[in-house]
Amino acid sequence: MPFLKPICIATWNFPNASLRAGEMLAAGVSALDAVEQGVMVEEANVKNTTVGKGGAPDREGNVTLDACIMSPDGNAGAVVYLKHNTHAVSVARKVMEETPHVMLAGEGADQFAKAQGFEREELLTEASEKAYQEWLKKKEYKPIINIENHDTIGMLCIDQKGDLAGACTSSGLSYKMNGRVGDSPIIGAGLFLDNEVGGAVATGMGEAILKTVGSFLIVELMRQGKSPQEACEAAIMRIIKQNPNYSDFQAAFIAINKKGEIGSYCIQKGFSYMKYQDGTNKNIQSKFYL
Ligand code: GLY
């Protein structure tokens, strides 16, 4: 039976992204197109220092983007260490649709993007260059909890047909080591969905999320009968158990099942998510552990 009320949820307080996706869903656009277009809003937002253009560079001054996308049929595409294109999610979608692979990295991802007609761009903005020059003075590597409430955008949409798609895109941790890849482009860690069950996306400290394959875990727990809320809480508790220093970082998940029920949970206070449904676009504070 078709799901009659399309819905978009997305990490953090990025209302323009959920609005774009939600309005597209309301107009009958597919969940896959809606998640791509939705997260593209933040990729293009140069004020957002953790997604797309304007993202903070690594400690050698490179802005490198990670992204993935999943379609309702379980297909997936991803790029890691993409250096010259704002819309990493769109390159990831091309990987999914135009190659026999799931993930392309670094130079190969850049070459592929060029071959697909994406124009080469400079991702380091004047503001992010300035912030980097400041950082170089002390070279302190201390990722800030909730990074001024901006981090990876992960989005899940259910369209008018009841199909579920998801996307996740990030410039990763500010001043990470050159070559570092986080959870965001890793299917199962930053994003996972099963169109028969539901989906989950992650934000926060990628290393902790990677080690618990959190989004996959949440979908499997929902498959076994847990609600999205129970499943998100179980995934965060897994991270807490595995990381004695859990109070030093943020990790958060949001999830949705095929009934449209939503869950979210995180370690630290301060994480919220967007929900667009029935013409209402709202920001909702997540429950948290600490
Ligand atoms: N969650 C984004 C990252 O750790 O790269």
pLDDT of residue 55: 92
Distance 5 CA to ligand 1 centre (A): 31
> If you measure from the C-alpha of residue 226 to the centroid of ligand 1, how many angstroms do you get, rounded to a whole number?
26
Q: Give the Cα separation of 110 and 86 in Å (integer).
A: 11
Ligand 1 center from residue 203 Cα (angstroms): 6
166 pLDDT more than 70: yes
Predicted confidence at residue 169, as pLDDT, reads 98
In a domain, 2, yes or no: no
pLDDT of residue 114: 97
Q: How far apart are CA 95 and CA 106, in angstroms?
A: 13
In this predicted structure, the answer to whether residue 215 has a pLDDT above a threshold of 60 is: yes
Q: Is residue 135 part of a domain?
A: yes
Kindly state whether residue 39 falls inside one of the protein's structural domains. yes
Domains identified in the chain, total number: 1
pLDDT of amino acid 149: 45
What pairs with residue 253 in β-bridges? 202, 265
Residues catalogued as catalytic = 152
Per-residue pLDDT at 98: 98
- Residue whose CA is closest, atom 5 of ligand 1? 172
**How much of the chain exceeds pLDDT 70, in percent?**
96
Quick one: which atom of ligand 1 is closest to the CA of 171? Answer: 5
In a domain, 1, yes or no: no
Distance between Cα 205 and ligand 1 center (Å)? 5
Helices (H), the chain: 15-26, 31-43, 88-98, 106-115, 126-138, 206-212, 214-223, 228-242
Residue 240 CB-density burial (10 A; 0-12 exposed, 13-18 middle, 19+ buried): middle
Q: What is the mean pLDDT of residues 30-36?
A: 98
pLDDT digits (tens, 9 = 90+) for 139-156: 877 766 665 445 899 999
- Which range has the worst mean pLDDT, 50-64, 98-112, 121-135, 148-162? 148-162
Q: What per-residue string of b and e applies to 87-119 under the rule 16 or more CB within 10 Å gives b?
A: bbbbbbbbbbeeeeeebbbeeebbebbeebebe
Nearest C-alpha neighbor of 255 from the set 173, 132, 168, 175: 168
Site to substitute for ligand 1 among 155, 183, 243, 254, most atoms within 8 A of C-beta: 183
Residue 242 predicted with pLDDT over 90: yes
Out of 63, 155, 184, 254, mutate this one to test ligand 1's pocket (max ligand atoms within 8 Å of CB): namely: 184
CATH number at residue 209: 3.60.20.30
Residue 50 has pLDDT above 50, yes or no: yes
What mean pLDDT is reported for the chain? 94
Residue 174 has pLDDT above 50, yes or no: yes
> What is the dihedral sign for C-alpha 176, 179, 180, 181?
positive
In a domain, 149, yes or no: yes
User: 63-76, pLDDT tens digit by residue?
Assistant: 999 999 999 999 99
Residue 214 is assigned to a structural domain of this protein: yes
Q: 181 alpha carbon to ligand 1 midpoint, in Å? A: 8
pLDDT band at 36 (very low <50, low <70, confident <90, very high): very high
Identify the domain containing residue 193 by its residue range: 7-288
Work out the average pLDDT over 99-111. 98
Residue 77 resides in a domain: yes
Residue 78 lies in a domain: yes
Mutate to test the pocket of ligand 1, among 11, 68, 152, 268 (most ligand atoms within 8 A of CB): 152
Task: Say what percent of the chain tops pLDDT 90.
Answer: 91
The set of protein residues with a Cβ atom below 6 angstroms from ligand 1 is 152, 170, 172-173, 182-184, 203-206
pLDDT bracket for residue 250 (50, 70, 90): very high
